Each structure stands twice: as C-alpha cells, then as structure tokens.
Amino acid sequence: MKDLSNQKVVVIGGTSGIGLATAIAAFELGAEVYAASRSETSIEKAKSKAPGEIKFRVADTHDIASLEAVFSEAGPINHLVSAATGANRTMAPFMEQTAEQFAEAFNKFWGYTNVTRHGVPHLVEDGSLTLVSGTPARKCNPGMSSLSCVGSAVEALGRALALEIAPKRVNVVAPGIIDTAMFDWMGDNKEATFEQMSKNIPLRRVGKPEELANAIIFFMTTRYVTGTTVDVDGGTLLP
C-alpha cells in the first residue's frame, strides 16, 4: 500500500526535521515532491541531504503569494503537509508571558490556516492534508501553556476540516520529543539532555524525524482515515 508513484506531494516546512524526512520518504516511494521553506539557507542545507530530484522552493506560511506560487506550480496536488513552525515560541508560565509573546505562538496556527485555505483548492478529490501538533496539546508541562493551546487548536482544526472538505482527508500527527535541529542549541549537552528527558518516556528514548515521516506517509497511503490525530511520542501521553 505504500506507493506514491505518479502522485504529487507538497511539504511546507520541508527543509529540516520532520518536514525534510517526510519529503525524502515520499520521494523514495515514487512521489514528485515539492519541499518549501522561507529560508534560502535552509534550502541549501537540505539540498545536501536530499535527493536532487526533490523540488525545493521558497515559501512562507504568512506570505500568501509565495504559497500560491508553489501550489499553482505543483498542482494538482495529491498530498499536502504543513510542518512549518512559522512562529517564535516563549517557554514560560502563562502569567510570566506578555500578551504579545503568547499571541506570537499562534502564528504557527495562523500559518497552518493559510496553508489550508490556499492549498486545499489544489488538492485532488481524494487527496490528503496533514498538520503537525504535539504532545503538549494534551499533556502540558509548566511553561508550555502557549504550545498546548496552539497544539489543541491545530487538532481541533483537523477534526473540523475533515467534516467540511470530505472526501478530501485531513489528519494530524502529534510528535513527542524528536531529535531535530530545534535542539541544536544544546550543543555538546544535547545527548546528555536527551538521556535525561528519556527517563520519563516509556520507550526510554527520544524520537527520530523518520518515525514521524512514517506516520505522515500512513496518512497519505491509508485512504480510510480522516479527522484523526496519531501520537508518535514513545508513550509520553500514558499516565
């Protein structure tokens, strides 16, 4: 069932982490893949890691013209993935954040609505849209209130859209702690920090971008799934 031959896949936020892993996985299954990022630097880095046939493009989730350019070039699209963060997120208790800091986290959500509003018209009738949430949506640690609220909004949007745009499908993947570039700021302490974090994860390790990509490929290739959130978190949400 995992065959994407003669299908077009567009990954917004497709030059690093989960997005890049998804773009590569879709390409390896035979898809024609477009991977977009707002950063030329990110695109150049991605080109050194990905097959040359993947079409990298510049697009920002908050720049409608750039999104439309990618969708129009790629269309008709079989599968659309929105994995771009598109926001600065402040990790601090709600009462210690400014209203501006809390609101800024929702730029991820507004970016997703832009991708959806302008991308779905380019989806084929049995196409799919996949959004990315996160475990804080349903298991929030102190200091993660903005992440939790944004993730909850993304998951609610996925359920609502699944009813509105059927038979086109909409699903959400919710990652736990995944080893991506967002943790590179830890430098040499990254491995030790991950080991410490893993003590509270039933599978005793952090996840890999390829494992999230596999879940997104599942949504693309399993056509009887919509309005669903799949957790790829090593058991983090268990009591």
Q: Is the pTM of this model over 0.85?
A: yes
| Paired tokens of 165 | 């745009």
CA distances from 228 to 72, 76, 116, 155, 214 (A): 28, 24, 16, 8, 15
- Asked whether 186 and 136 are in contact (CB, 8 A), the reply is no
Q: pLDDT tens across 77-94, in order?
A: 999 999 998 788 888 999
| Domain range list for the chain | 8-179+210-231
Q: pLDDT tens across 15-67, in order?
A: 999 999 999 999 999 999 999 999 999 999 999 999 889 999 999 999 999 99
184 or 129: which carries more pLDDT confidence? 129
CATH class assigned to 8-179+210-231: alpha beta
- Return all residues near 100 (Cβ < 8 A) that are at least 6 apart: none
* Residue 6 DSSP SS3: coil
| Predicted local confidence at residue 1, as pLDDT | 67
